[in-house]
Amino acid sequence: MIVFSSRDIDQSLIDSENFTTFPSGAELNVAVGLEKLGIKTTYLSNVGKDLLGKKIVKFMRKQEIDIRYLRQDEEWPTGFYFKELVSKGDPQVSYCRKNSAASHLCCADLAKINISDFQAVHVTGILAALSTSTLHLTEKILTEAEKQEVISFFDPNIRMSLWHDKEKMIRVLNDLSFQSKVVLPGSNEGKILTGTSDPKEIASFYLSKSDITKLVVVKLGAKGAYYQTSSGSSGYVKGYQTDKIVDTVGAGDGFAVGLISGLISGLEIKRSVKRACAIGSLAIQSRGDNDGYPNVSQLEQFMRKNNKCE
């Protein structure tokens, strides 16, 4: 997608008059973050063959993301959304993505991809919410990952405005979680999806209902995160405190970047979660959805400096 981000602080979207644009989207944010850490990524999606789609293609090429499976659709437009600029809390967003190019992704788009060529796959509940065909694609990706013994990461990433039926949303997102090796709910999402905001109970819910899920990491915002594995190990990881909160959008995707990069690089779970907390903290200190993601040197410097303060 393309974001039209307000430059008028604490003004509603109706009253905002000045906007800046940049490519975004949960999966794209994760791809950008992994590339910044030197991890090659391949991106599957569909954009319109229009001005916004061309902007996304240009951006992704600059980020050196592999876009061989990024289809440019002549029939359907590129999705976009508007985002507030706020001094506190989470900004209001307004989506314009009905019948977007991405909503027409389907299982056929996966036909030329060999999942076994990759170390990991990452999908979110946003893709599943766009249409029936994208839901089937999400299910297919997770099924193929399990069949090919490729680690799958699933972030529920609840976007209520994309779902017409809350009960269906809960059922679908939980079913997708049960098909995933690693599940990444936030505590607020956990409350909606499992009926409890207790991190231990959220993790136990997913681990007890799936033979596939091996790790659940519950995001706790500034407090850090809680992890639990199917083998019984668990623990809380302290987050990073910051007084400079510019924009909270992209923090959860940054968290995913840290966890994925850590685990596929061979770091133990606790260190990977700590890395995830670090990138999530850096993300909220920048205005863009993925501008604050660090390279390896910046990440190491941030963690070294802040770990000394604990």
Catalytic annotation, pick one of 73, 109, 155, 253:
253
The four Cα atoms 151, 41, 175, 71 give a dihedral, to 10 degrees, of -140
Active site residue 155: no
Measure the CA–CA gap between 283 and 264, rounded to whole angstroms: 21
Contacts with 74 (C-beta within 8 Å, 6 or more apart), sequence order:
48, 49
Is 173 in contact with 128 (CB distance < 8 Å)? yes
81 SS3 class: strand
Estimate the share of the chain in helix, then strand, then coil, as percent rounded to the nearest 5: 45, 20, 35
Token pair, residue 10, equals: 């604490």
Token pair, residue 75, equals: 């029939």
Residue 54: HSE in the Cβ half-sphere, 13 Å Cα cutoff: 4
Which amino acids are annotated catalytic? 253
